Structure 1
Amino acid sequence: MPYIEIPSPVPGIRGLMASKPASGRVLSGLAEQLLRGDSPLSVGERELIAAYVSYGNGTRYCTGSHTAAAAHALGGDYALVEAVQKDPATAPVSERTRALLAIAGKVRGDARTVAEEDVEAARAAGADDEAIHDAVLIAAAFCMFNRYVDGLGAITPEDPAVYDRIGAALVAEGYLPQAAE
């Protein structure tokens, strides 16, 4: 049960954003830009970063929805997403993705620990400055989104099938509210 009154029982961040529509539009636009806008990172890679950061923050709603979105964007590969969440150093991802996840993990924990060596390792693995920038910004934004969801006690379903549907919809429709919502 959310800690504040929300207009309708919509799970997660969308329910919270409905209580402040102007802020909700801005946050939705930010998510759309970060996860669907122009980037050298694929949608799957960006969703993977969001899922990894949310998992590390222990935010169940965001972990569930972005794990599902990453899996859907990566051809249904839930095992890959779960492997990254458990240990990105041994997960079956490219060296570029592994290096970007290492940076994202540091941003999640204490961004001040990101060092030039981390950036150089990402560059050596094939990441350009835009990919590094996007990985850091996604990680930072998801720390904010996670804290928003947890700080207001968003509705958090238990059923994994709910998250699968949410993830499929995010991949198919993006983050901007649909006209019918």
Structure 2
Amino acid sequence: MKLGTAALALLTATVGATLVAAPAYADQARYPDPADASASLTDMRAVAVAHGPNRLVVKVRFTDLRARSTGGPSGLAIGIDTDAALKGPEFRLTSGLQSGTDYQLVAVSNGDVVGEPLTCPHKVALDFAGDRLTFAAARSCLGSPDSVRVALLMRDEFDSSHPVTDWLGAPRSYTDWIVSD
């Protein structure tokens, strides 16, 4: 079948518009974490961060995430740094790691919480069968930053006099900056 010049031009324009209008993909990074908090069932093992055009997603895999733990309560804090010119994160998510626990996303300045917990679009999902926590927040919730980096800390309170802590990487360290498309 032979296409006429007008039909070929229309087809080329349609294909070109489709390619330009295709969705942008998030810049993503994965970080392994060694079995360095083996005294805890909730030792972090890997973290994946995706910073897309509409949302930030952080997925954390644990050794053995349980709905009810005989090992005591544990929790996770995710520091979200959105401004390289400022010291520390601008946002912090805190969440329990057992069924029925709650979570909060707050604005932070110099390590201190600023104002009330945020009500903008964000959520945490615990997948006990997959040993995963997934945190997602709309970019607008975080001030629509061009890039982010995160720091993660798990704290297990089985023995509150000797809590087990697990940082992703070195204590108080961050991932690389992840640029949104």
Q: TM-score, normalised by structure 2?
A: 0.27
Q: By percentage of residues, which structure has more helix? A: 1
Q: TM-score, normalised by structure 1?
A: 0.27
